[in-house]
Structure 1
Amino acid sequence: MNVISRARLGAVLGAAVLGVGVFAAPALADPPAGDYRVLAGAGSDTTQDVLNGIGDAVDGGRTIASYNATPTGTVKTREVNCEIARPNGSSAGVTALNTAVDTNSGCLDFARSSRGPADTSTSQDLTFIPFAKDAVSVAVRDDSALNNDLDLTTAQLAAIFRCDAGARVLNGVTLTPLLPQLNSGTRTFFLGRIGVTEAQVGSCVATMQEHNGLALDTAGDIAPYSIAQYISQVTNVVEDRHGATALGRIDGSEPFTAEGTLNTGFVYNRDVYNVVPTAKLTDPVIDAVFTGTDSKVCTAVSAGQSVIEKYGFGRIDHCGDTTDPALKGER
C-alpha cells in the first residue's frame, strides 16, 4: 500500500489544520452571476480552486474573479459582450487570454496555467508568473492490485502511455491508462516528464477530466494526478472528487511528507502560474495582485493560514517573480 493511505492522509492533515479552520466551506466555483470583479481569469483545472480561495480572501472578494474549467458551455466575465466559451485547461486559458488581448475585448485579464510557456522563441507577449509549487504523481484505485506498493519508474510510465505490448499488465492487472483532456497543462507536463510526445500516445489511452478520481472506475485505470489537488480533495477543502483513488511513488519518490503535505521535492514537481499580458505588468492592479513576493496572490491568508498551503500547494520563494526571460512567450 502507499506509505500514507488515503484515510491516514486525511487524518494527518485534519489534525494539523483543524485549528485554523481549513474545513470551512470551499470557495465558490464561479463568482455569483452579475458579480463582475476587477480582474477576470480562467484556464487550469489544477489551480482553479486555489485561485477561487485567493479571490475570496483578497480585498473582500472584490478584485479577483476566477472561473472554473468546467462545466462545458459559456461563461460571462463582464456585463457586456463577454460571454465566452469556458476555457478548460491551461492551454485553453492561455489561448482565450491571447484572444482577449488581440481583440482588446477586456473579457479576460489573466489565465491560470499549470505549465510554463509553450513557445518563448517568437513572442514575449505573455508573462507566466509563478505563485506555488505542485507535483504530479499517478493515481490508481485503492482497491486494485495496482495499489500494492506502487512504485513506477519513468521508463515504465513511458511504456504504459505508449501502450507498449510488454507494459500492458502490472501486478496481474491489465492496464487501462487515462490522460487529462486536451488543452490540459497537466497532460502537457506529464507527457514531457515521461518523454512521450502527443504523437506517441498509444491507442489504448482514454481521456478524462483531469484530477477527477471518479473517472477511475475499473481495476486497471491509471492516470496522472496533481498531488495538491488530491490533498485538497481528500481533506474536503474542495469538492471531493478523488473517488477510490490512491497515489503511488515514481522513481522511488514519495508524493507526501510524513505530515501528509505535498512533498515539494517529488520527482515530478512543477511551478504553477498566473499568466498576464507582458504589457500589463506595469498596470497598478495587475502589479499589486500578481507581482512580487508581497503581491496579494502570494500573501493571501484565510483564517490565519496561507491560502496556497490550505489548498495543498507548496509555497515558493520566487512567488510573483516576473524577471525570468524563460517565462515570457506564447503566441
Structure 2
Amino acid sequence: MRSVTRKLAITSAIAAAALGAVVASNGAALADPPSGTTPAATDIVAVGSDTIQALDNGVSTAYNATSPASKFYSWDATPAGNITPKSGASTIARPNGSGAGITALNSTTDTTLDIARSSRGPNSGTTDWFIPFATDAVGWSAYTGGNAPHDLSSSDLQGIYNCTITNWSQITDEGTLPNAPIDVFIPQSGSGTRSFWLGALGITTTPSCWKATTPEENEGTDPAFAGDVNAIFPYSLSHYIGQVYDGKGTTTDAPGVLDANRSIDGTEQLDTTNKVWNSNLSLTYTRNVYHVVRQADWSNATEGPRLKALLGRASNNGWLCKNGASLITSYGFHTLGNACGTLQAGI
C-alpha cells in the first residue's frame, strides 16, 4: 500500500494588466548573449543552473525589449570551456550547475558576474541573497518503452538510489517486472537537481551502483542513455513540460529517449490535459528556484538598483515578479505570487 504525503496546491497568480509587455516579447529566446554581442560592464549577467537556463534566456529577451538601463544576459551551463561574461571581465570556466554558479559568483565581483541561477535552496551562511521566483517539481524519468514500470513508490525510488534495489524484479508492487539490472544515473556533482533529488530521498552517500557517467541534467539525448532500456534518471518536471509541450527545447536540450510521464506513490507527475506538472505531487518533490546575488551587491548604491529593477518584489516594481507570470508558466514552471522576490540569506 502506498502512502501519499502532503499535497501541494499551487495557483498561478497572474495580474492581467501586467502581462502585455511579456506576452508581446515571448519570441525567440537567447541562448548565451547573441553572437557578436558582449554584455557591457554595467549589464547584469547570470550563470549556473541548467534547469532554469531556458527560462532565463526568455527573461533576457523579454526584459531587454523594455530597454532597461542595464540589460540582462544569461550564459548557458554548456558547452564546457571558458567564457568572458561581460566587457572587461575575467575569463572563467563556464559554470555548469547551481553549485558551480554560486561558487563562481562568490569567487568574482560584479565586474564579472552578477547572478547565479540556482535550483537548490540556500545553505547556512550570510554571503548571498537567494531570491525565489518560481516553483519546480523533480520527478523520475526512464527509457521510453523500457523495463521500468509507470509508477514507483517513494520507497522504491529510495531503494533504487541507495542501491538496496538493483534489479527491476525486486519491485513487487507493480506486478512482475523483468529480471534486469537497473542502470542508475545521476547528474554531476554540484547540480542543484542532483542535490535536491538525493535530499528528497534521504540519501547522503554515494552508493556503488550508480553509473560512473553523469549526464547533463534534464537531457535524455546523452549518448549514455542510447539503447539503455534499464536507465532511470531524475528530471525537472518544469523543464520537461517546457521541452515537450511549450517548444522550449533544442536538438540536445530535449527528453530524447527518456520519458518523465510517470507517477510517484500513485500520483501522476504530469497533468497531460493541462500540460503542466501535477500540483498534487507531494511537497517532498517540489522546490523553489532562485536567482542568487551577493548581499553586498544588493545593498550597493550602484549595483543594487540594477538588480532590484529585475529581481525585486512586485510591490517594489521588480520586473520579473511584477510582469513575468505568463513568461514563467510558458516555460513549464509554476508562479510564486507574493512570495516572488523575497530575500533568503545563504550561500
Which TM-score bucket, shorter chain as reference?
0.7 to 0.9
Q: Deviations over 1:35-60 (max 9, x none)?
A: 30510110000000100100110032
Q: Corresponding residue for 2:155?
A: 155
Q: How far is the alpha carbon of 1:262 from its aligned partner?
A: 2.0
Q: Corresponding residue for 2:4?
A: none
Q: Corresponding residue for 1:203?
A: 209
Q: Corresponding residue for 1:11?
A: none
Q: Corresponding residue for 1:138?
A: 140
Q: Secondary structure at the match of 1:69?
A: coil
Q: What letter is aligned with 2:198? A: L
Q: Corresponding residue for 1:261?
A: 276
Name which of structure 1's ranges 124-133 and 254-263 shifts more when overlaid on structure 2.
254-263
Q: Secondary structure at the match of 1:179?
A: coil
Q: Deviations over 1:133-167 (max 9, x none)?
A: 10001011222131x4x221222112111222x44
Q: Corresponding residue for 2:37?
A: 34
**Distance 1:142-1:127 versus aligned 2 partners, 3 A rule:** same
Q: Structure 1: state its 5+ residue gaps.
A: 1-19
Q: Structure 2: state its 5+ residue gaps.
A: 1-21, 170-176
* Alignment partners' CA distance in 2, 1:242 and 1:97: 29
* Residue 242 (structure 1) aligned with residue 242 (structure 2): no
* Residue 63 (structure 1) aligned with residue 86 (structure 2): no
* Residue 231 (structure 1) aligned with residue 244 (structure 2): no
Q: Corresponding residue for 1:270?
A: 287
* Alignment partners' CA distance in 2, 1:276 and 1:298: 16
Q: Secondary structure at the match of 1:58?
A: helix
* Alignment partners' CA distance in 2, 1:177 and 1:93: 26
* Residue 112 (structure 1) aligned with residue 117 (structure 2): yes
Matches within 5 A, 1:77-116: 77-100=85-108, 104=109, 106-116=111-121
* Alignment partners' CA distance in 2, 1:21 and 1:316: 19
* Residue 251 (structure 1) aligned with residue 265 (structure 2): yes
Name which of structure 1's ranges 238-247 and 186-195 shifts more when overlaid on structure 2.
238-247
Name which of structure 1's ranges 83-92 and 34-43 shifts more when overlaid on structure 2.
34-43
Equivalent pairs counted in the alignment come to 293
Q: Secondary structure at the match of 2:332?
A: coil
* Equivalent in 295, 308, 333 of residue 287 of structure 1: 308
* Equivalent in 50, 53, 69 of residue 48 of structure 1: 53
Checking the alignment, whether the CA contact within 8 Å between 2:99 and 2:191 is kept in structure 1 is: yes
Q: What letter is aligned with 1:292? A: R
Q: Secondary structure at the match of 2:86?
A: coil
Instruction: Give TM-score scaled by structure 1 length.
Output: 0.83
RMSD of the TM alignment (CA)? 2.1
Q: Secondary structure at the match of 1:180?
A: coil
Q: Corresponding residue for 1:7?
A: none
Q: Corresponding residue for 1:328?
A: 345
* Alignment partners' CA distance in 2, 1:50 and 1:81: 24
* Equivalent in 280, 303, 308 of residue 328 of structure 2: 308
Q: Secondary structure at the match of 1:134?
A: strand
Checking the alignment, whether the CA contact within 8 Å between 1:138 and 1:223 is kept in structure 2 is: yes
* Alignment partners' CA distance in 2, 1:297 and 1:105: 20
Checking the alignment, whether the CA contact within 8 Å between 2:49 and 2:117 is kept in structure 1 is: yes
Q: How far is the alpha carbon of 1:21 from its aligned partner?
A: 8.3
**Distance 1:84-1:69 versus aligned 2 partners, 3 A rule:** same
Checking the alignment, whether the CA contact within 8 Å between 2:313 and 2:322 is kept in structure 1 is: no
Q: Secondary structure at the match of 1:259?
A: coil
* Alignment partners' CA distance in 2, 1:285 and 1:277: 13
Percent identity, aligned pairs only, is 35
* Equivalent in 301, 306, 321 of residue 298 of structure 1: 321
Checking the alignment, whether the CA contact within 8 Å between 1:161 and 1:202 is kept in structure 2 is: no
Q: Corresponding residue for 2:186?
A: 179
Higher strand share: 1
* Alignment partners' CA distance in 2, 1:243 and 1:181: 19
Q: Deviations over 1:246-298 (max 9, x none)?
A: 11211222222231212234220110000011122231111111110342122
Q: What letter is aligned with 1:154? A: S
**Distance 1:127-1:265 versus aligned 2 partners, 3 A rule:** farther
Checking the alignment, whether the CA contact within 8 Å between 1:58 and 1:300 is kept in structure 2 is: no
Q: What letter is aligned with 2:341? A: G
* Equivalent in 115, 130, 138 of residue 128 of structure 1: 130
Q: What letter is aligned with 1:182? A: S
